[in-house]
Amino acid sequence: MKPPAWAQLVLWAVAGENEAEFVAGDLHEEFLLLCAAEGRSTGSRWYVRQVLRSAATLLGLRFRSGEAAHLVAAALVAVAMPLLLLDRLWSFVYSNIPFKDGLQRAPGFWAANVVCVCVCAAVCGSLARTFVRAMGVALAAAVGAGCALWCSAATAPLFYAGLVILAAPASSMAVFAWRRSR
């Protein structure tokens, strides 16, 4: 018998790497006891209630341990900042071209951005030591990329925006998995 999958996902998303395994183990153990005594539906309800009521406290613990600072740094310094700086650089270069034709960014600019974001997110992913942290970094990278796109001067094509938001977490997780397999 297993607890509701979505509640487990919420638990792994909010709990820090120091607590996630122990808290999940404790809840699982009590869930099995409750299921045996009062049935599965009671056990599932209890599990969901515990996860939802503990979410804020577990998030607070995650912030206190410094893990959240790493995630924010990954999102802002490694993904959002380079993207915004590239955007500003391109705006500066563009403003110095006389008689420019149109305001569209060159395809090379978009490609350079994607490569830059992938490299930065991959570096962040390589620094994560646990799966929980790597997942957090990947999520933070996606959020950082989204924020940078939202703040950029030029309107980004939909394909490019989607590519950046997906490529950042993907490269981060790929490098984490590669490092773990070695």
Partner 1 sequence: MPKGEGLGEFEYLIMLAVLRLGANAYGMRVRQEIATRTGRDVTIGAVYATLERLADKGLLSAAMSDPTPERGGRAKRSFTLTGAGMEAANRARQDLANMLEGLEFPLPGGSQ
Under the binding rule (CB under 8 A), the answer on residue 38 touching partner 1 is: no
User: Which range touches partner 1 (CB under 8 A), out of 25-33, 115-123, 126-134, 146-154?
Assistant: 25-33
Least separation in angstroms between CB 178 and partner 1: 24
Question: Do 3 and 47 meet the contact criterion of CB atoms below 8 Å apart?
Answer: yes
Cβ-based burial of 99 (10 A; exposed 0-12, middle 13-18, buried ≥19): exposed
CA angle 147, 13, 128 (to 5 degrees): 75
Under the binding rule (CB under 8 A), the answer on residue 44 touching partner 1 is: no
Judged by DSSP in three states, 157 sits in coil
Token pair 């992913």 is found at 125
Cβ-based burial of 107 (10 A; exposed 0-12, middle 13-18, buried ≥19): exposed
Comparison of 16 and 125: residue with beta carbon closer to partner 1: 16
User: Quick one: which of 44, 54, 113, 172 contacts partner 1 (CB under 8 A)?
Assistant: 54
Under the binding rule (CB under 8 A), the answer on residue 56 touching partner 1 is: yes
Comparison of 21 and 38: residue with beta carbon closer to partner 1: 21
Closest CA to 10 of 180, 23, 30: 23
Helix orientation angle between 131-151 and 158-181, rounded to the nearest 10 degrees: 160
Comparison of 2 and 100: residue with beta carbon closer to partner 1: 2
Under the binding rule (CB under 8 A), the answer on residue 32 touching partner 1 is: yes
Question: Do 167 and 117 meet the contact criterion of CB atoms below 8 Å apart?
Answer: yes
Under the binding rule (CB under 8 A), the answer on residue 10 touching partner 1 is: no
Judged by DSSP in three states, 66 sits in coil
User: Quick one: which of 42, 57, 91, 104 contacts partner 1 (CB under 8 A)?
Assistant: 57
Least separation in angstroms between CB 84 and partner 1: 36
Least separation in angstroms between CB 40 and partner 1: 15
Under the binding rule (CB under 8 A), the answer on residue 6 touching partner 1 is: no
Interface residues with partner 1 (CB under 8 A)?
2, 18-19, 21-30, 32, 50, 53-58, 60-61, 64
